[in-house]
């Protein structure tokens, strides 16, 4: 008995009541608690609505809801008459719907993810850990009771009757402590095994989070895709659209016009108040005036009273429109046809080739080219005053009507290819009524007066007898798109200053075009 007591006392110094598996679970509990706690905290930070408040108050506090309210209020200020007002209203309604979807997401995330994570990290695991601490205390109590019991057995004589003695009391105390410890250990073990079995449930919180986010984004995407056609419809139905730098057909389609607005507006005003202006299209206007005029034309507005006193600004705006087209009015596709026609030596064949190229122009380009050529032909009727002969017009305006995809240097632009373009534009202007028979109403929309181009050769249907001689053409070179309004003056200055050899060659080559050089007398 004494020997057994000694062995038991030795073991009682430290009692371990959990298996190795449960000891591993105990370590994992703390790690899961830390991860769940930090994840819960970060998820709370991601919420845009306030926690623990009513749903209505949550909705109002969302940034998207505030944005929606701001947009709708802005649309009321601007009104539905403006495109911006329409877009603000539509955008505000969309943001409000997005805010509602976000609120639903956050409510479901709180219910299905955030609250369960809080329960896991702040309730379930702490309760298990609390039980573990209580078990540790019961183990200590049991070890102490056992120590007291075995100490009392040592001090009592072996022959004495243990019944009713101090030894019996200590034994009962030890057995009671061991019973309490056993009950606690069983409960703790059950909870720890249950925790391990429920890990798949805890992991499902994050699957739920992804699923709910995916559903939210699907709904938002569907909402945005449904509203986009309405947004685009408002944009496309709005008549006041910029026209500079936009494709010709796009501008005509959106504005419902046959003649581009800048072309008609500038031509009709020039016919009224600038057709006799000397150096029209050659003299550069004030940069600030030109910028203002282009901006007003981009808005579909032209103050005739203001700009009628500055025909050079009007002419500059027209040149800028032609130059800024993404594709020249005479098209990239027909560039080779035009250049090839300009190189034909036989004049009748050359005119026929030019006519064939005109017929190949797309409908919109043909209509606007015809309109412009008829105007330029009318401009030459006053060449004695305005000094703008067909040749001069071809020099300053031709590079704005035709250029190639590739870019060459400025010398090439002002020499070989420019001469070819002059050889294309000049005869078309000279024989405008043959290339484009019939009268033309310049004031198509009736907004700027009503000048009409009269066809003086309405009954003339055969090939015109050109007053131009054959001239040598260089091989087809590539030109570049015009650089600026000043380029035209640079070209004229080039012909004027770059040596008498160039000038004499040019004058000789183009003399048969009735091509006066008014600047030679300067």
At 239 the pLDDT is 62
| Torsion-angle region of 173 (φ positive above 0: left; ψ -120 to 50: alpha; else: beta) | alpha
Phi, psi of 452 (to 5 degrees): -125, 135
**In the prediction, which pLDDT does 335 show?**
93
User: How many of the other CB atoms lie within 10 Å of CB of 103?
Assistant: 20
Q: What is the pLDDT of residue 446?
A: 63
- State residue 441 phi and psi, 5-degree precision: -90, 110
CA gap 372, 378 in Å, rounded: 10
Any residues with CB less than 8 A from the CB of 517 and at least 6 apart, and which? 495, 507
DSSP 261-316: HHHHHHHHHHHHHTTT-TTTTTS---HHHHHHHHHHHHTT---HHHHTT-HHHHHH
pLDDT (0 to 100) of residue 515: 35
Cβ count near 107 (within 10 Å): 15
CA-nearest of 273, 246, 272 to 260 is: 246
Using alpha carbons, list the distances in angstroms from residue 401 to 27, 101, 326, 368, 373. Answer: 82, 54, 11, 11, 11
Rounded Cα–Cα distance for residues 348 and 466 (Å): 8
Residue by residue, what is the 3-state secondary structure of 158-195? CCCCCCCCHHHHHHHHHHHHHHHHHHHHHHHHHHHHHH
Asked if residue 391 lies in contact with residue 428, where contact means CB atoms within 8 angstroms, the answer is no
β-bridge mates for residue 353, sequence order: none
Cβ–Cβ < 8 Å for 44, 114: yes
Sequence-separated contacts (24+) of 350-357 with Cβ below 8 Å: 350/427, 351/427, 351/431, 351/434, 351/463, 351/464, 351/466, 352/463, 354/424, 354/427, 354/428, 354/435, 355/435, 357/330
Residue 14 is predicted with a pLDDT of 53
Q: Which residues contact 73 (CB under 8 A, 6 or more apart)?
A: none
Query: Pick from 390, 464, 448, 452: which is nearest to 422 by CA?
Result: 390
Is residue 326 classed exposed, middle or buried when 0-12, 13-18 and 19+ CB atoms within 10 A define those classes?
exposed
DSSP designation for 326? S
- Residue 331 falls in which region: left (phi positive, over 0), alpha (psi -120 to 50) or beta: left
What backbone phi and psi angles, to 5 degrees, belong to 214?
A: -60, -45
By CB atoms closer than 10 A (0-12, 13-18, 19+), residue 500 is exposed
The Cα–Cα gap between 321 and 264 comes to: 11
On the CB side of 252, CA atoms within 13 Å amount to: 16
**What is the SS3 assignment for 68?**
helix
Q: So what's the pLDDT on residue 179?
A: 94
Contact 417, 486 (CB under 8 A): no
pTM value surpassing 0.85: no
- What is the DSSP secondary-structure string of 72-132? HHHHHHH-TTSHHHHHHHHHHHHHHHHHHHHHHHHHHHIIIIIHHHHHIIIIIHHHHHHHH
Distance CA 13, CA 140 (A): 10
- Mean pLDDT for each 10-residue chunk of the chain (522 residues)? 41 66 90 94 88 73 90 90 89 94 93 94 93 92 90 67 71 92 92 91 94 96 94 76 88 88 92 90 90 87 77 93 94 93 92 95 95 94 92 92 73 63 93 90 65 36 42 34 38 40 36 35 32
CA separation for the pair 392, 376 (Å, rounded): 11
Compute the half-sphere exposure of residue 321: CA atoms within 13 Å on the CB side of its CA. 27
CA 426 to the chain's CA centroid:
44
Cβ pair 420, 404 in contact under 8 A: no
């Amino acid at each position: 008995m004494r020997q057994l007591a000694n062995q038991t006392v030795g073991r009682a110094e430290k009692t371990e009541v959990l298996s190795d598996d449960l000891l591993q679970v105990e370590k994992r509990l703390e790690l899961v608690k830390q991860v769940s706690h930090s994840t819960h905290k970060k998820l709370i930070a991601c919420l845009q609505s306030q926690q623990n408040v009513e749903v209505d108050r949550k909705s109002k506090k969302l940034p998207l809801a505030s944005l929606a309210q701001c947009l709708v209020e802005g649309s009321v200020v601007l009104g539905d008459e403006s495109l911006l007002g329409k877009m603000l209203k539509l955008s505000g309604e969309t943001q409000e719907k997005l805010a509602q979807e976000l609120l639903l997401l956050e409510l479901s995330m709180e219910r299905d993810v955030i609250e369960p994570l809080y329960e896991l990290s702040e309730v379930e695991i702490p309760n298990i850990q609390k039980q573990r601490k209580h078990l540790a205390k019961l183990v200590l109590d049991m070890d102490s009771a056992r120590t007291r019991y075995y100490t009392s057995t040592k001090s009592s004589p072996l022959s004495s009757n243990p019944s009713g003695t101090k030894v019996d009391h200590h034994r009962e105390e030890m057995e009671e402590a061991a019973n309490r410890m056993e009950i606690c250990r069983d409960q703790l073990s059950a909870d720890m095994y249950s925790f391990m079995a429920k890990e798949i449930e805890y992991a499902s919180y994050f699957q739920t989070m992804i699923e709910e986010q995916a559903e939210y984004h699907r709904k938002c995407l569907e909402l945005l895709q449904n509203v986009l056609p309405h947004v685009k419809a408002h944009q496309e139905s709005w008549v006041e659209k910029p026209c500079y730098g936009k494709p010709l057909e796009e501008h005509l389609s959106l504005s419902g016009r046959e003649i581009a607005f800048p072309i008609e507006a500038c031509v009709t005003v020039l016919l009224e108040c600038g057709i006799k202006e000397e150096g029209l299209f050659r003299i550069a206007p004030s940069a600030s005036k030109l910028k203002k005029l282009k901006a007003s034309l981009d808005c579909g507005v032209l103050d005739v009273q203001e700009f009628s006193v500055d025909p050079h600004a009007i002419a500059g705006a027209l040149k800028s429109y032609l130059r800024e087209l993404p594709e020249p009015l005479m098209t990239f596709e027909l560039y080779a046809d035009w250049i090839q026609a300009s190189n034909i030596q036989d004049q009748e064949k050359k005119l026929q080739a030019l006519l064939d190229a005109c017929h190949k122009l797309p409908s919109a380009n043909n209509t606007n080219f015809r309109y412009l050529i008829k105007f330029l032909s009318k401009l030459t009727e006053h060449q004695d005053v305005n000094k703008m002969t067909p040749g001069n017009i071809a020099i300053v305006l031709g590079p704005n009507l035709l250029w190639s995809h590739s870019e060459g240097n400025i010398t090439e632009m002002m020499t070989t290819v420019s001469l070819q373009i002059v050889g294309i534009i000049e005869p078309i202007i000279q024989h405008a009524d043959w290339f484009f028979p019939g009268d033309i109403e310049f004031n198509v929309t009736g907004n700027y007066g009503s000048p009409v181009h009269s066809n003086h050769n309405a009954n003339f249907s055969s090939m015109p007898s050109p007053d131009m001689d054959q001239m040598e053409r260089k091989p087809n070179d590539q030109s570049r798109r015009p650089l600026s309004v000043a380029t035209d003056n640079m070209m004229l200055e080039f012909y004027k200053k770059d040596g008498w050899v160039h000038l004499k060659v040019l004058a000789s080559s183009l003399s048969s075009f009735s091509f006066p050089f008014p600047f030679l007398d300067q």
